[in-house]
Structure 1
Amino acid sequence: MGVEVHGDRASITLRGEGVSWIQVRWRGDLRAVRRYLGDHWERSYGDLEWRGEAPNRAMPWYFMAHDGAATHGYGVRTGAGAFVFWMADSEGISLWADVRSGGVPVELEDRTLHVADVVCREGQTGESAFAATRAFCRQMCPAPRLPKAPIYGTNDWNYAYGNNSAELIAGVSGLISELSPDPDNRPYSLIDEGWAIGPYNGTFGHGPWEGNPRFGDMGAFADRLKGLGVRPGIWFRPLTPLPDSPASWRLSRDESYLDPTIPEVKDHVTAHMRRFVEWGYEMVKHDFTTYDLLGRWGVEMGASPTKDGWRLHDSSQTNAEVLSDLYAVIREAAGEALLIGCNTVGHLAAGTHEIQRTGDDTSGRSWNRNRRMGVNTLAFRAAQHNAFFAVDPDIVAITKVIPWELNEQWLRLVAESGTALFVAVEPGVVEPKHREALQRALALAATPQTLGEPLDWMETLCPRRWRLLEKEVEFAWMGESGASPFAD
């Protein structure tokens, strides 16, 4: 292993065989640090927070350290060659790098692995912790791929949950188009799971990737959506096999998924992505690649993104390199279409994806989930917005179930935050009060806004006080019953 200093960064490299993990330790006196903030491996799960010293806490990719006077950043640049996390205590900091391929040591042979570029930023007295975090995110990602205009529109998942149809989506798309006044930056209509031929029955994302009888010709439907004044988008799960996919394409860890190190699997993904673009879709949301490859959700990973003992077809690449390579394949095939990554690793997707779903699902059925997942991810990952990619905190769902007095606040927060806004509107629910709020929110979301800043995020996982549109705003998230320990 080698560590070389190049100006404002330190490069970590590895040669040799039989290595699964690397640790680099910097000793120092951190007793002055009062609070630490870490990131997540992929999406967050309502659990991002500033905490006191927790020596065993694994903080993926980067962390911020606040000493009462300034906030300092320590991390690795985006596009690392390994899954990297940090640990911090009063006597120093440790970087750990998972250089496994599947669940075994990577087989480098004569190759030198560029593990990561370590960067740090000294905080400035007088800047807020949020401003420091945002500046450090920009430092970690020297070449983001950003959309040319703010991202907003509709996504059907949080009211349809896979039971969607062309008629259902066309109706909501027409409403969103009508309520979106900006003539230059038109809204997107993102068709989520449920459009393809494959069975739904509680399992997500199975092809064949052709329109089912509820949708018919997907190219013709893309044209129909454009005629309604919206930009068509489509959802795809790249690593699920088709009924006729050869057994040799399957992942050794779980044959329910495809192995992306196999060239024919990459060709399979490329062919589907190109067909979506040829049909006329201007945005593709791809999903589940981290779980399908590694077998764990981010919330389950801790210090180990996958279990030991299993092999990929090509063991010469680390898991981080495999995912980055897959993202590059998807990026090239997408052409000029925008990419949204969901269940993708943000630190690896930055630079190839314009948009990132940064938190676990919000809901059209449970307000508790919106408060827990949505508000938390927006507060603690907004600093990544237009530094890594455009941040999508997930859907604001207007349904019969979600109380409007709470949902109206969630809609306002996202719309005024400057991040991406997607709404799900259950047919038959919209009243004049909803139309008025939606029209205002869509108008705001269509144009660049000053990034919203959480003001009490060091004291809570669910910030109430925000600076939005240059004004301080306070929300009431809990409702009459407060949080539920049993809700999802």
Structure 2
Amino acid sequence: MRGTGVSRIQLRWRGDLRSIERYLGDHWERSYADLEWRGESPNRPMPWYFMAHDGKATHGYGVKTGAGALCFWTADSEGISLWADVRSGGVPVELGARTLNVADVICRQGKGGESAFAATQAFCRQMCPNPRLTDKPVYGTNDWNYAYGNSSAELISSVSGLISELSPDNDNRPYSVIDEGWQMGPYQNRYGYGPWVGNPRFGDMAAFATRLKGMGVRPGLWFRPLTHLDDSSESWRLSRDKSYLDPTIPETKEHVASHIRRFVDWGYEMIKHDFTTWDVLGNWGSGMGPNPTRDGWRLHDSSRTNAEVLTDLYRTIREAAGSARLIGCNTMSHLATGFHEVQRTGDDTSGRSWNRNRRMGVNTLAFRAPHHRTFYEVDPDIVSITKAVPWSLVEQWLRLVSESGTALFVAVEPSVVEPKHREALKKALAIAAKPQKIGEPLDWMETVCPRRWKLRGKTVEFAWMGESGAWPFSD
């Protein structure tokens, strides 16, 4: 009968887990300053996988990447549970005669003498047999954290020229990713929306890509695939919220693919696509808990689970992008592997608030570093050099990201650049352009914001708090 069926599946393994001292869980999409090792917390949902440390070894339990359901774990002293959300939209999936491969469960027994970080890294490699990896490190500039959508071709060119000048003269040139603000929507005060052509501050986007290449940078472009255009057919709209397009509709898929193909034809070598988890499911990862979307709403095609729908969308984007690199932002981590070379792993850092850089940036880099080059290239988000954020703190964040081996994107407010900034940037870009061993947080079991790191074979300690300490209010 339509409307009845299975929404969630629970599998329970009973056993004595009283020896486990700490658990580490992952997140649905980006992290939100909330990844940490904790003691037993039976109701804590741990999406995709978790690590369990017993004081001697660190064990892993999870599902392989590319699951057919949105999966999370819970753990307590008497056993562990795997929960699989097999809804389509907010109703039970209607499989018909089809069989769904819900998930491939996988575990790894830890080894004595192995660090928890090494164990987590090894388990991530085991969960993801076919990552799509870059042949060279990813680094460059992204304008969002100084322009915040108020950008222009001249402003982008100014910063791109600076980054090109300060980058090493080798065969791995930096990217210049043009974030929100280039298209017509922001020019009309409609952020997140198209039409996806250059607004009067940018003009011909193909000509601008050529201009950037002539400056020695590799052009990249930001895109929000599922916001509607004024002429989008009403039949393409998502039933949950008509502001967004339903990705199970063939015309929506072609709409998305045609835009990606056009950006690549313009000459853009990296496409950053954003907001698809929010636009489809109506929740940020921070608010999902065990329930990624509300009950009761339908996708156009109810025969596919939400996990399958998002995976199909990523596949559509990947195929349209061809050889261009992809950055997934607000994309499901465990589903994006194999499609995106780069994954934004945490919520936004900031050119206005140091507190967000410490909370979001340091936390995601520490706890998702094991994903780096096991799932994808980790992008912990932007290092911002602006007048609003103290250089004494930003300089440390710049060093951590550049020496960690993860993707380095910098946002540089042109008017604040002094010789000290140029010197630090030149050093950081030279390091980021070459492969580095992944940075390891050494005190990550004791804090959500690790201070002690192993970087390039040396132990380094940072001071993240600044003169006033943490800002406990919303930022």
Question: Do the two structures share a fold, i.e. TM-score over 0.5?
Answer: yes
The corresponding residue for 1:468 is 455
Partner deviation per Cα, 1:92-133 (whole Å, 9 max, x = no partner): 000000000000000001000000000000001001100000
Which residue number corresponds to residue 342 of structure 2?
355
Shift of 1:200: 5.5
Q: Deviations 1:304-347 (Å, cap 9, x if unpaired)?
A: 00000000000000000000000000000000000000000010
Match of 2:65 among 54, 74, 78: 78
CA distance in 2, matches of 1:375, 1:293: 28
Q: CA RMSD in A?
A: 1.0
**Amino acid in the other structure paired with 1:164:** S
When the two structures are aligned, how many residues end up with a matched partner?
473
User: Mean Cα displacement is larger for which, 413-422 or 178-187?
Assistant: 178-187
Residue number in structure 1 paired with 2:144: 157
The Cα of 1:427 is off from its aligned counterpart by 1.2
Q: Does 2:283 match 1:299?
A: no
Indicate which of 96, 109, 117 corresponds to 1:109: 96
Q: Counterpart amino acid of 1:359?
A: G
Per the alignment, residue 193 of structure 1 pairs with: 180
Task: Give the match for residue 225 of structure 1.
Answer: 212
Q: Which residue of 1 aligns with 2:419?
A: 432
Give the counterpart of 2:353 among 366, 383, 399.
366
The answer (yes or no) to whether the contact 2:66–2:334 under 8 Å persists in 1 is yes
Say if 2:9 is the partner of 1:22. yes
Percent identity between the aligned chains?
Answer: 79
Letter in 2 for 1:69: K
C-alpha distance in 2 between matches for 1:41 and 1:299 = 8
DSSP-derived class of the 2:120 partner: helix
Which residue does the alignment assign to 2:253? 266
Equivalences for residues 276-287 of structure 1 within 5 A: 276-287=263-274
Rounded to whole Å, the distance in 1 between the matches of 2:207 and 2:164 is 19
Supply the distance in 1 between the matched residues of 2:127 and 2:239 (Cα, whole angstroms). Answer: 34
CA distance in 2, matches of 1:316, 1:376: 37
Offset, 1:182 = 3.5
Which digits, 9 at most, give the CA deviation of each residue in 1:368-394, with x for residues without a partner?
A: 000000000000000000000000000
- Do the aligned partners of 1:200 and 1:206 also contact (CA within 8 Å) in 2? no
Match of 1:42 in 2: 29
- Which structure 2 residues correspond to residues 287-436 of structure 1 after superposition, within 5 A? 287-436=274-423
- 1:54 matches 2:41: yes
State which of 164, 172, 195 in structure 1 corresponds to 2:159. Answer: 172
Give, in whole Å, the separation in 2 of the partners of 1:198 and 1:86: 40
CA change 1:155–1:227 in 2 (3 A) is same
Secondary structure of the 2:312 match is helix
Instruction: Give per-residue Cα distances to partners, 1:25-57, cap 9 Å, x unaligned.
Output: 000110000000000000000000000000000
Is contact 1:464–1:475 with CA below 8 Å preserved after alignment? yes
Cα distance, 1:205 vs structure 2: 1.7
Structure 2 counterpart of 1:250, from 207, 229, 237: 237
How does 1:110-129 map onto structure 2 within 5 Å? 110-129=97-116
CA distance in 1, matches of 2:427, 2:434: 12
* 8 Å CA contact 1:182, 1:443 repeated in 2: no
Structure 1 moving runs of 4+ over 6 Å: none
Q: Report the Cα distance in structure 1 between the residues aligned to 2:189 and 2:297, rounded to whole angstroms.
A: 27
Cα 1:86–1:201 shift into 2, 3 Å? farther
Letter in 2 for 1:160: A
Structure 2: how far apart are the matches of 1:298 and 1:209?
A: 27
1:67 corresponds in structure 2 to: 54
Tell me the amino acid that sits aligned with residue 90 of structure 1: S
Aligned-partner SS, 1:113: coil
How far apart are the structure 2 equivalents of 1:487 and 1:22?
36
SS in 1 for 2:378: strand
- After TM superposition, give the deviation of residue 17 of structure 1 in Å: 6.5
Structure 2 Cα separation of the partners of residues 88 and 20 of structure 1: 21
Q: Is the 8 A contact 2:354 2:389 kept in 1?
A: yes
Distance in 1 (CA, whole Å) between partners of 2:51 and 2:420 is 41
- Whether the 8 Å CA contact 1:17–1:109 is kept in 2: the answer is no
TM-score (norm 1): 0.96
SS of residue in 2 equivalent to 1:198: helix
Query: Is the 1:391–1:419 contact (alpha carbons within 8 Å) kept by the matching residues of 2?
Result: yes
Report the Cα offset of residue 155 of structure 1.
Answer: 0.1
CA distance in 1, matches of 2:424, 2:381: 18
Q: Which amino acid aligns with 1:187?
A: P
2:132 matched residue in structure 1: 145
Partners of 1:34 and 1:182 in 2: CA distance:
49
For 1:3, the equivalent position in structure 2 comes to: none
| Kept after mapping to 2: 8 A contact 1:44/1:358 | yes
Cα distance in structure 2, aligned partners of 1:423 and 1:72:
36
Who is 1:100 aligned against?
87
Report the Cα offset of residue 201 of structure 1: 6.8
Letter in 1 for 2:430: A
Take 1:203 and 1:360, find their aligned partners in 2: how far apart are those partners?
22
CA distance in 2, matches of 1:395, 1:202: 24
Do 1:43 and 1:344's aligned partners in 2 also have CA atoms closer than 8 Å?
yes
Verify the 8 A CA contact 1:17 1:106 in the aligned structure 2: no
TM-score, normalisation: structure 2: 0.99
Determine the C-alpha separation between the residues in 1 that align with 2:29 and 2:56.
30
CA distance in 1, matches of 2:423, 2:92: 57
How far has the Cα of 1:204 moved from its partner?
3.0
